[in-house]
Structure 1
Amino acid sequence: MIAPRITRLILTAFRSYRKLDLAIDAAMVVLTGQNGAGKTNVLEALSLFTQGKGLRRADLADMASEEGDGSFAVAAEADGALGPVHLGTGIEGEPGPRKYRIDREPVSSAAAFADHLRLVWLTPSMDGLFSGPAGERRRFLDRLVLAVDAGHGTRVNALERALRARNRLLEDPQADQRWLEAAEHEIADIAIAVAASRADTVRRLAGLIGEEIDPSSPFPHAQIALDGAIENAVLDEPAVAVEERYRRILREGRARDRAAGRTLEGPHLTDLLVVHGPKGIAAERASTGEQKALLLGLVLAHAGLVARLAGMAPIMLLDEVAAHLDPSRREALYGKLLASGAQVWLTGADPSVFDALAGEAAVFKVTPGHVGR
């Protein structure tokens, strides 16, 4: 199994770092330091080597150092899936468009990075995922799919644009019906592709989880499913039939959608359903500790799925995940991470939390604007 690794990370005017040049020679990387020192900033920089806004979902302008001119750059040297590679991204002046480079040559989008490495992450902001709004679980779901299907993010963005275009047409009572029909045709076409990728990923992930159930594991297994009519339909029916039915739903629902000011049916409203497997209860009804362990187990299982389908172990970015685990779960987590063979970046304010990784991890001390061994 190929396990891509970042071997050097260079930040220029990114967040709290005016200049950082960090060499990495290990599969396990630990960043310790006080809260606010800049540990998460390093993980956020790495998360830009995939599609989207990164693990904080921040605007590009907010990533630039306050002391600069609005520009920033993130570069990495990596032993990627296709061999050594130099990756770069950033913006040149505010509000410049984000740029992407591979081996210093421009590429059109971050999707091209997926040929060289994949990333998955877990952050404290995701702790309330199961009890939070459906939109957060849908974004989590799409990140799961994106790590497996690099084109998924482009399709999700295209669907959102097409839905906005239809909403604008519905607001105009004099809108040309041919334009409306064309918009709905485009929406249905993209919606089926988005739904099919989601349904296939969840089916495969559920199957992998089922294969690896371990009653003794401190991370309870999850039972997952999709609450989305189109996603569930594409598993059993021809895509053409599902697409035509959704197009008819859009056409017949124009008056209702116009009154609501939005499209009331479709994969843009899909939810991810998660059940605590051993207890058989909805994840949101589990205790806070159980939810955290369940989420961690789900992310670890997903990393295994990425490795299986993409042919490369994903780089894992785990922000403050170990501090709130009891010792047995922490030991089990480290064992799973080491066994995965993947490069893993861990952060934590308390260095003693990582004592069990002595000799296994490269440990760095983070202070504002600086990272040192």
Structure 2
Amino acid sequence: MALTRLRLSHFRSHVAAALDLDGRPVAVFGPNGAGKTNLIEAISLLSPGRGLRGAAPDDLARRPEAIGWKVTAAVAAPDGPHEIATWSEGAGRRVEIDGKAASQTALGGALRVLWLTPAMDRLWTEGAAERRRFLDRTTLSLIPEHGEVALSYDRALRERNRLIRDGVRDPGWFAALEDTMATAGARLAAHRAAALARLAAVAADPAFPRAELAIEGEGPREAAGLREALREGRGRDLAAGRTLVGPHRDDLGAVYAAKGVAARLCSTGEQKALLVSLVLANARAVAEGFGRAPVLLLDEITAHLDEGRRASLFRAVEALGAQAFMTGTGPELFEGIDAQRVAVGEAGLGPG
């Protein structure tokens, strides 16, 4: 699975950018602020969701013009070539696959994209919400229908919380929303558990530490139990001003397996190595289930990796056969990998 062509228009710092790609890993280098992360962020929007920085569509337009942006790509996928386009429309964005309007969820059927960014280095020390997002992105990469299930649950949750904030006490208003939450929540929990099982089943990379993952949370996981817990918890939720039970309260726990140490207590370098290990495991699981390795976006990937681990990462990428877009400040950071080199500077993009 690979991009063979990428075009950007008025996206972030890029007025226009064009890349023709040959399927190999891509080393993107240039000074800080040149637009390297902007380039791979555009690629991340070829998958469901709001991309690797979680930005709203309005925030992606080049300033000061703010005339709207567009990303188009040609993709070589297991089921054949696809043309994908996404662009801003009002406060939202549109998607086309092979010239036909499509949902964001449908992007997962044409292209799988995983990423690792410097902001994710704090994953194990930040709040549970970031780890849930990481867990759901991982799950979505393996179970495409997870996106629609999560949307259904989140919509019902928002409506139930609105009733709570408005002080509504009529059971009839709550029942239908809680039924939707129970049904979707049970599927959400099952998908997450299945995704972690698939990660655990793939062979670990000996160069990176294995993480033991577990979903941490309270409350029932099956639909009937969750429905009853929501019903019984209405009084408590009204007092708290929000819904206190359900998979939206879950957390992702991780332990450095060889040491038996929680990830949050590991060193910065160990935490980075654990993240790399998880992304590689995720990529192998996608390759087993989808037939091809996903596209990888590895922003400033050499940070906190010594020369030996960097070489191990390059070997793992090549063994996967993955098209990995890797960013860094200089070409010397990518010695040892057969990669297409792209320089990013004031003049735009060019061969490195």
Q: TM-score, normalised by structure 2?
A: 0.96
1:243 has 2:232 as partner: no
In the alignment, is the contact (CA less than 8 A) between 1:323 and 1:350 conserved in 2?
no
Corresponding residue to 1:54 among 37, 51, 54: 51
Partners of 2:204 and 2:100 in 1: CA distance:
45
Partners of 1:356 and 1:342 in 2: CA distance:
16
Q: Which moved more, 1:307-316 or 1:40-49?
A: 307-316
Corresponding residue to 1:134 among 128, 134, 139: 128
Deviation at 1:104, TM superposition (A): 1.9
User: Aligned residue for 2:282?
Assistant: 302
Q: Where do 4+ consecutive residues of structure 1 move more than 3 Å?
A: 171-176
Deviation at 1:175, TM superposition (A): 4.8
1:361 has 2:350 as partner: no
Partners of 1:271 and 1:366 in 2: CA distance:
38
Q: TM-score, normalised by structure 1?
A: 0.90
Partners of 2:121 and 2:286 in 1: CA distance:
22
1:319 has 2:299 as partner: yes
Cα–Cα, structure 1 residues 192 and 361, in superposed 2: closer, same or farther, change >3 Å?
same
Alignment of 1:62-81 (within 5 A): 62-81=59-78
Identity across matched positions, percent: 44
User: Aligned residue for 2:212?
Assistant: 223
Cα–Cα, structure 1 residues 31 and 173, in superposed 2: closer, same or farther, change >3 Å?
closer
Partners of 1:228 and 1:203 in 2: CA distance:
17
Q: Which moved more, 1:41-50 or 1:175-184?
A: 175-184
Partners of 1:346 and 1:274 in 2: CA distance:
25
Deviation at 1:304, TM superposition (A): 0.5
Deviations 1:342-373 (A, max 9, x none): 1111000122111222xx11101101461100
User: Secondary structure of 2:122's partner?
Assistant: coil
Partners of 1:138 and 1:369 in 2: CA distance:
39
Deviation at 1:97, TM superposition (A): 2.8
Deviation at 1:184, TM superposition (A): 0.9
Structure 2's unaligned 5+ residue stretches are: none
Partners of 1:74 and 1:199 in 2: CA distance:
34
Deviation at 1:67, TM superposition (A): 3.6
Corresponding residue to 2:330 among 341, 345, 350: 350
In the alignment, is the contact (CA less than 8 A) between 1:34 and 1:349 conserved in 2?
yes
User: Aligned residue for 1:200?
Assistant: 194
Deviation at 1:96, TM superposition (A): 4.3
Partners of 2:292 and 2:218 in 1: CA distance:
32
Partners of 1:160 and 1:280 in 2: CA distance:
34
Q: Which moved more, 1:173-182 or 1:299-308?
A: 173-182
Give aligned pairs, total. Answer: 351
User: Aligned residue for 1:335?
Assistant: 315
Structure 1's unaligned 5+ residue stretches are: 235-241
User: Secondary structure of 2:311's partner?
Assistant: helix
User: Secondary structure of 2:63's partner?
Assistant: coil
Partners of 2:204 and 2:191 in 1: CA distance:
24
User: Aligned residue for 1:167?
Assistant: 161
